Amino acid sequence: MPAADATAEEVFATLPLHAKAAQLVMPWIAGGYAAFDDPALLRAARWVDSLGVGGIIVSIGSPLEVASRLNHLQGRAAVPLLVASDLEAGTAIRLTGGTPFPTNMGVGAAGREQDAWEMGRITALEGRAVGIHLTFSPVADVNNNPANPIINTRSFGEDPAAVGRLVSAAVRGTQAHGMLATAKHFPGHGDTGTDSHIALPVIPADWARLDSVELVPFRAAVAAGVAAVMSAHVAMPALAGGDPRAATVSPAILGGVLRDSLGFEGLAVTDALDMGALVSAYGPGEAAVLALEAGADLLLQPADPVAAVDAVARAVEAGRIPEARLDRSVRKLLAIKERLGLYRERLVPLDSVPARVGVQANQAVAADLARRAIVLVRDSLGAVDSLRARPGELSLLLYGDETSPTAGRSLAAELRRLGRVPTVVRLGPASGPASYDSARAVLAAERPVVVAAAVRVSAWRGTLGLPDSLAALITATAATRVTTLVSLGSPYLLLQVPGVHGYVLAWSAGPTSEAAVAAALAGQAPITGRLPIGIPPFYAVGHGLQRGGTE
């Protein structure tokens, strides 16, 4: 292991070719509890101590579970690991008990740069407490395609300048508090109708369009000093001399646009190399080699880490990739580890985790943002105003997709606490005719109807919207009852049920956002959010009906 006072260059001098290739590979591991002899943990340990990978990507677990697992693996590594995680919208997306912010689009609806900075600050402090050094956030994509099945609320919005300001603030808030930020997905994944986990999206954008829309937030991130930029598995042939390959393996895009045009000198990281848009075309080894050739520095989540390392080493030995090219990326990574202080101390104290992750001060910041992120898009027939004006009975239909099976539970409880009397019925993706008949009977009663639906981005699904059967039920109900739809996810659900009278956006499910919705519907909080995206053909960016508190 390197000495505590080792420099990056001293560490670099100890690495043979295969070890240098391994430094650029970052496989994925689960974050939950596992015994030391658990097969998955043993496999991860072999990646660390035998293969010698330079970092790992950690997924979902409790803060203490994640910290303990990372300490265990760090203790086995010859060179300290750079640990990364996808912490979009705060640590709660990965750390059970972490602080849950609304999605980025909710931050855009609140409209304050300070909110993005605070989200970055709290994410950095909580993530570093468990041993995470690099977050794959913020999302810098401009979501200008309502049919996009994979970006949606992960984006701050569709106005490039506004997105750029929020991206810059998030980068600064994150990096000022000890965590490296990543702007993604370069050069822009917002105008796609295809999920790149499944297939390769093709964007027929020319330079003028890219320069004025997609690149604006990435330029802002680079100006803010972002440490890393993640490539997108999307093709932009017009920018790459007709090359139909993904940006991740395109020298014209990673080199010509990112490095030369934007002047980015930090870490270029790939999106996950096991995604269908890439691995199905090239296989795990060749995908890694092509990405390194194109200009990537870190090779994330290859389908087979051993194959990826071996393929890179063979490519250097065969002269396909100059060793100086490999060395440049390895030196960059080792220098970042030195800057993070990992040669001095790579472990985190477990007893400090509960004092730093999910604490009340952080929760209060997120709750305040969730309240200000609520957008009242439509209120015909006074659907929402009447709910806010006085307590009373209502029919509450809850729907959660595969990602949110308990969506609305906190909303129902909070409405009861605030004096409303909801009769609750729940539907889900697996609900059949009998369940729909029960829901139809509840909604037929003489009382206002509120439908709360969580339809959220989910990798590998390829679509994003209400089931046709649910959309038909809502439409039929709105023909006879005053009906309000609350979206706990995608803002575009109105396009499927244009006849609803009230439309409220809350951006995410979970106790924090649902408490904010309940306060808004019960008139105990003002509604001040504005659309960061348009909902064509009904509403433009910036629309939002404003309401003050009534109680």
Task: Give residue-wise pLDDT tens across range 364-399.
Answer: 999 999 999 999 999 999 999 999 999 999 999 999
The whole-model pTM stands at 0.95
Of 2-11, 194-203, 421-430, the range with the lowest mean pLDDT is 194-203
How far apart are the C-alpha atoms of 329 and 405, rounded to whole Å? Answer: 43
Task: Give residue-wise pLDDT tens across range 385-394.
Answer: 999 999 999 9
Over 80: is that where the pLDDT of 195 sits? no
Of 55-64, 159-168, 409-418, 459-468, the range with the lowest mean pLDDT is 459-468
Output the average pLDDT for the chain: 94
- Which stretches of 393-467 are DSSP H helices? 409-417, 433-443
Q: What is the mean pLDDT of residues 506-515?
A: 96
Task: Give residue-wise pLDDT tens across range 106-145.
Answer: 999 999 999 999 999 999 999 999 999 999 999 999 999 8
- Residue 551, pLDDT score: 43
248 vs 276, higher pLDDT: 248
Over 50: is that where the pLDDT of 179 sits? yes
- Residue 458, pLDDT score: 55
Provide the annotated active-site residues: 197, 271
Over 80: is that where the pLDDT of 310 sits? yes
Burial letters for 142-173: b for 16+ Cβ neighbours within 10 Å, e otherwise? bbbbbebbbbbbbbbbbbbebbbbbbbbbbbb
Burial letters for 411-436: b for 16+ Cβ neighbours within 10 Å, e otherwise? bbbbbeebebebebbbbbeebeeeeb
Cα 463–chain centre separation: 17
Task: Give residue-wise pLDDT tens across range 433-456.
Answer: 999 999 999 999 999 999 999 998
Task: Give residue-wise pLDDT tens across range 49-95.
Answer: 999 999 999 999 999 999 999 999 999 999 999 999 999 999 999 99
Query: Domains plus CATH for the chain?
Result: 8-355 (3.20.20.300), 374-521 (3.40.50.1700)
